[in-house]
């Protein structure tokens, strides 16, 4: 970039440095229990509850074959048009097994287009406490979880973590933080309440988010 001569940098840093000479008061409080969030005894039940609350459809499946059927079911009401699928071996198998007969664009063919009617991706992990899905750009890309009216996520129960802290820890350990230019924590479907605080689903992103949660995928 031709702008990189940046004389403001040193001046701003110098002002911060001199500004910090005087320490700021800290508002101390009586020691608290320090437990900010309640413990989560049953992550799977919690995840399902949270999904129900935030308008994510969560279907629990036994294995790959059942998940294939779930994928076909989830796609059944989707109108004519292209389906965009992350090109991963597990999703290739699931798609073949589902017997769906419609135009598929695989992620190896390029980014999703405006015409995508639904997208199918894997996830880094699922968060029980909030009913969230963590997606990385390294695996699923950036657009695949946002451009279409329907986003279907396929995950295994082993990917379920209890809370946000464990999701961050897991993403760090798996290299998801350094290995992706973008991570997104998705909780429910796109929404807005900017008009009279009335909730409307499907603002710019998917109106339907579906999680196919398999006990095990082979």
Shortest Cβ distance from residue 176 to another protein (Å)?
10
Nearest to 50 by CA among 165, 129, 159, 125: 129
In the set 68, 98, 119, 180, which binds another protein (CB under 8 A)?
180
List the Cα angle 181/75/125 in 5-degree steps.
35
Q: Which of residues 114-143 bind another protein (CB under 8 A)?
A: 114, 130, 132, 137-138, 141-143
The verdict on 200 binding another protein (CB under 8 A) reads yes
Per DSSP bridges, beta strands 150-156 and 125-127 are unpaired
The verdict on 25 binding another protein (CB under 8 A) reads yes
State whether residue 4 is helix, strand or coil.
Answer: coil
Cα gap 117→112, rounded to integer Å? 10
List the Cα angle 49/32/162 in 5-degree steps.
25
Shortest Cβ distance from residue 132 to another protein (Å)?
7
Stretch that binds another protein, among 14-22, 66-74, 92-100, 210-218 (CB under 8 A): 14-22
Question: Residue 34 CA to chain centroid, in angstroms?
Answer: 28
In the set 147, 155, 214, 217, which binds another protein (CB under 8 A)?
147
The verdict on 29 binding another protein (CB under 8 A) reads yes
The verdict on 218 binding another protein (CB under 8 A) reads no
Shortest Cβ distance from residue 6 to another protein (Å)?
6
In the set 81, 99, 111, 175, which binds another protein (CB under 8 A)?
111
The verdict on 90 binding another protein (CB under 8 A) reads no
Cα gap 180→18, rounded to integer Å? 36
In the set 81, 165, 175, 216, which binds another protein (CB under 8 A)?
165
8 A C-beta contact, residue 184 and residue 134: yes
Crossing angle of helices 64-75 and 89-98, in 10° steps, is 70
The verdict on 77 binding another protein (CB under 8 A) reads no
């Amino acid at each position: 970039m031709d702008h990189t001569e940046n004389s403001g940098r040193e001046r701003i840093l110098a002002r911060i440095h001199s500004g910090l000479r005087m320490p700021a008061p800290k508002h101390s409080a009586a020691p608290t229990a320090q437990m900010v969030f309640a413990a989560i005894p049953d992550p799977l039940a919690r995840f399902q509850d949270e999904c129900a609350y935030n308008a994510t459809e969560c279907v629990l499946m036994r294995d790959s074959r059942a998940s294939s059927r779930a994928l076909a079911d989830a796609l059944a009401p989707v109108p004519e048009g292209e389906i965009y699928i992350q090109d991963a071996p597990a999703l290739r198998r699931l798609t073949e097994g589902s017997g769906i007969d419609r135009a598929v664009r695989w992620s190896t063919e390029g980014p999703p287009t405006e015409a995508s009617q639904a997208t199918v991706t894997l996830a880094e992990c699922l968060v029980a406490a909030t009913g969230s899905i963590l997606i990385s750009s390294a695996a699923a890309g950036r657009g695949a979880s946002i451009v279409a009216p329907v986003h279907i996520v396929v995950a295994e129960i082993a990917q379920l973590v209890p809370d946000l802290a464990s999701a961050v820890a897991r993403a760090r350990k798996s290299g998801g933080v350094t290995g992706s230019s973008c991570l997104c924590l998705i909780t429910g479907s796109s929404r807005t309440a900017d008009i009279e605080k009335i909730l409307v689903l499907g603002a710019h992103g998917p109106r339907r988010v579906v999680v196919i949660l398999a006990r095990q995928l082979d």
